[in-house]
Amino acid sequence: MSPTLRRVWHWLKKPIEILTFGFAVIHAVTVLGIALVPWDFTSSPTLRGYIVVGAMLGAALSFFLTPNAWMGVAKAKRVRRRNWYLAAALLIYLLLVLGPLIVSQPQLAARFRIAHDIRDLLIDLMKLFEFSILFGSFLTAYFSGGAIILSSDALARPHMDRGAEHNP
Amino acid sequence: MKARIYLGVFIAFIGSQCFAQRKCQITRWLPTGLERQGGYSFDYQSGRGSDCRDYRLHNEPGQVRTPVDWRDNRDEVKEILFDGDLADCPKATSCPWVEEIKISTIPSETGDTALGYGVPKDEYSDKVGAYRQEITKQGAGYPPFTTILRGVIGGRKVKQHQVAIEVTSSVSGTGPFQLTYRIELAGESEPLGTAAKITSDAELLSFDWQAASTPTFREKLRSQLKQLTPKSSSLEIELSAPDITLETTAALVIYEAETAIAATSAPAYRPKEGKDVAHSAAGLALAKKAD
């Protein structure tokens, strides 16, 4: 195996070795939630597809990138960054995913002038609307997945074997 | 004010009925269909005459702009019946129809068609019964095709556009063939630019008849007329070609500036690739409606 391939392999293997099964499950469930909640607001196969694809890409990136980037960093710093990730995930989810989906509903547009105008804009800029959904799901999954991984204490002890703390 | 609106609607209705009788005598209408999913509410209907089919849709009062895509998705046909936005319709008003008429000798039958709507247009979908082309072996000869798109459609800059355009493709001769394209306003309509995607005026409408749109056709069209208006409401373009083909699926598209706001399939004969021969200038006829 070439040195480059070995580095990539090590990079991919590290999160799987470090993170416990519990954290991996929480990570997967969160991403599933991010992908499924908006299904109540749209029945469009196109938009649902964008949401799922965006969430899966964001989740995969956060799963591999976050442990590699934050391994060995002090807990206080990780907690600060986790809070920042959570706030970003929430804001992006509301602004880029749920917000546009809710505003595109005809009932809201019929009642409120501003919703009507925003909805018209979304119809006119349909490609941008679809991109907002895709990119919003991607970023939400990335930041929320990242926040979960940053909560793992395993990141502070990257060289310790899993369970070693119970067998001194 | 209200009386004036009612009078206008009445005159438009009478006008459209007279027009319809001249162009397409509908003998059978299927019952009006209602779509009521996700807060949307609009009606659709299809009818047929001896040589034509008619499709029409309109929003219910109080409804907002509704993107709609109605088509016949069978592999052999792939026909766009209407793809565009139904305009806003304020409460307590009558909502005008947008109508597509397809005149040809192709027989029709009842069957399923696909109606999608919402934001985006696949948000809700329904299989709806409508008159559609019957799949038969094409007979001998080259029957003419006429497509009419008229009514009120939703726009981007302007919320409602009044459009009425009719395109006809016919053929005479037996190699070389004489292709005749006739384009005219088919009732009350805003001016329609002949160059598609006009960028200079954001509110100006233009059209693109994609099935007929060969480079020679576009060149002739632009050189003859910049706009179809009530004063110069029709034009005719003639081309000759040694061999021709029939393009059935391409659409007649209405643009508001650079944005396509409505489309319906509009078949046309066109020269086979590489066999497009420009007709002499004397052969071009520009019909101008007398005042």
pLDDT given at position B200? 67
For residue B154, give every residue at least 6 positions away whose Cβ sits within 8 Å of its Cβ, in sequence order, or none.
B65, B66, B84, B85, B86, B87, B88, B160, B161, B261
Nearest to A109 among B64, B67, B123 (CB): B64
Summarize pLDDT for B248-271 with one digit per residue, the tens. 989 999 999 888 999 999 999 999
**10-residue averages of pLDDT along chain A (168 residues):** 84 81 88 91 96 95 91 90 96 97 95 94 94 97 94 72 48
Minimal CA separation from A147 to chain B, in Å: 32
Looking at 3.40.50, 3.30.70, 2.60.40, 2.170.120, the CATH number of the domain B26-136 comes to: 2.60.40
A-contacting residues in B 146-205 (Cβ below 8 Å): 156
B40 touches chain A (CB under 8 A): yes
B90 touches chain A (CB under 8 A): no
Where along chain A do its domains lie?
Answer: 3-156
Rounded average pLDDT over B98-115: 95
Nearest to B40 among A46, A106, A129 (CB): A106
Minimal CA separation from B64 to chain A, in Å: 6
Distances (CA, A) of A9 to A12, A146, A150: 5, 21, 22
Summarize pLDDT for B215-228 with one digit per residue, the tens. 999 888 888 888 89
d(CA A127, CA B260): 14
* Residues of chain A with C-beta less than 8 angstroms from the C-beta of B62: 110
Q: Which of B63, B64, B156 has the most A C-beta neighbours within 10 Å, making it the best mutation to test the interface with A?
A: B64
Where along chain B do its domains lie?
Answer: 26-136, 141-291
Q: Which ipTM score applies to this complex?
A: 0.82
Q: Are residues A107 and B259, on separate chains, in Cβ contact within 8 Å?
A: no
pLDDT given at position B287? 30
Say which range, A35-39, B6-10, B77-81, B137-141, has the weakest mean pLDDT.
B6-10
* Residues of chain A with C-beta less than 8 angstroms from the C-beta of B42: none
Nearest to A110 among B62, B119, B156 (CB): B62
Higher pLDDT, B282 or A70: A70
pLDDT given at position B51? 92
Evaluate if residue B22 carries a pLDDT over 90.
no
